[in-house]
Structure 1
């Protein structure tokens, strides 16, 4: 799964890289977590970065308080689940990031802690994760709640030693535009593991375990004994 990530690039870099304007209230995050409002680009407004809540709340949900809000959607089963299948057809997005975290489980029989890793591109440049979005409307107040989920896939060689899933990183601008475009080839062909040789990782400290921590210490290298 993908449950934490970072997005720390300054606005001018983001706007040049993704050809989209940043909102004034967007702030860098070293520990993006579910339920937070985070920057995405939707296929409906590809020239604009917007802040949506992480954790998908589909439009058809009747009771938002009781609804499951998935933070991830498995690429392999998107077309099998009606809620995801419809969004795959009409509501896709880019989730902006420059790294993500994953926790390595202790070896079988070991009682050690899960060790957090930070995973990023070798270039250390920002990238886009493939996502789906939707808008839930409160029928009593008319308030609109925009949300998103991140698509995951099987791990590449780098990730396999850490976790059995990884988020889908779209491989460059052409793939990002294809993901957002309403026409063209089938979207599912883009939902593959990113090239392991173009990525790197290192272990970080326990600060990242709490979503209440959100500063550069979360992403700092740390050696576990």
Structure 2
């Protein structure tokens, strides 16, 4: 299942991280739907009913464009169907945070949007899952293995080229509900889940349906050319993920700090004491946020990592340090 995520990038960076090639081979950055970038608030600890960035076909909003064209929208987590009869969406009686892939064609809540092509991709840095450890629920952070440091630091003539973290791309469905009083329409989504892969089943028996690679994303979003049955073939467990244990601070959804995703060492009663440089990094991370505002207890691991030095948790730290160095250099240059 998936009940908590982290999405910390600024709107412009999300657009860069989602760059793709259209049918003519031209590289494009999907634009935000009008006004939606203001509705999205970066967070290390997103819970249901909050807004998240969602990738979908632009044709859902502009009927004259090709269904392969993409746009980013801000949507509420927890699907509210178009036929919902109550005036207040908070009165929805069913939990629609997740949608099981094995019953997706059996439930009216999800069958309708699926057959109408309302397929989307939920964007996040990663998601959290919990496992009982020493009589306590230990949270873990799950994400895509990150690019190696040398790839992240490559020089390029294209200043718009994204060299940051790789976003997790989860398959979902969305719908649009319109209030009876004529208020603004509410776009909302659900995350599709599948049986956990071998890499994840020690932690939970379910996991999000993760789309690994732009080809899978293209097929899932392009409802005009890819049929429902063909699209459903993309919904399956994957092994290409990384994970590490994190602080129990994430258990409280009100906690929204970098500590939520930083790896910890299991078995240590107290949180590791931060060095002076680490504290500076955390302070920088906070200030950089947009003003808008083993099987039983594994540690740092990537299912595709070969050595400890190549773990995605380590690469994530390298990327954070690289970001810190760049900001420091810019400040010195300005001074």
Q: TM (normalized to structure 2)?
A: 0.62
Which residue number in structure 1 is paired with residue 262 of structure 2? 220
Q: How much has 1:11 moved relative to structure 2?
A: 4.0
Asked whether the 8 Å contact 2:249–2:260 carries over to 1, the reply is yes
Q: How much has 1:205 moved relative to structure 2?
A: 0.8
Asked whether the 8 Å contact 1:71–1:149 carries over to 2, the reply is yes
Which residue number in structure 2 is paired with residue 21 of structure 1? 31
Larger RCO (CA under 8 A, 6+ residues apart): 1
Q: 1:51 aligns with which of 59, 74, 79?
A: 74
Q: 1:193 aligns with which of 237, 262, 267?
A: 237
Cα distance in 2, alignment partners of residues 145 and 98 from structure 1: 24
Cα distance in 1, alignment partners of residues 246 and 189 from structure 2: 27
- SS of the aligned residue for 2:96 comes to coil
Cα distance in 2, alignment partners of residues 66 and 27 from structure 1: 24
Matched, 1:30 2:59: no
More strand, by proportion: 1
- The gaps in structure 2 that reach 5 residues or longer are 19-28, 62-68, 147-164, 268-335
Q: How much has 1:12 moved relative to structure 2?
A: 4.4
- SS of the aligned residue for 1:140 comes to coil
Q: 2:109 aligns with which of 63, 76, 83?
A: 83
More helix, by proportion: 2
Matched, 1:113 2:136: yes
| Structure of higher CA gyration radius | 2
Which residue number in structure 2 is paired with residue 99 of structure 1? 126
What is the aligned residue count?
219
Q: How much has 1:28 moved relative to structure 2?
A: 2.3
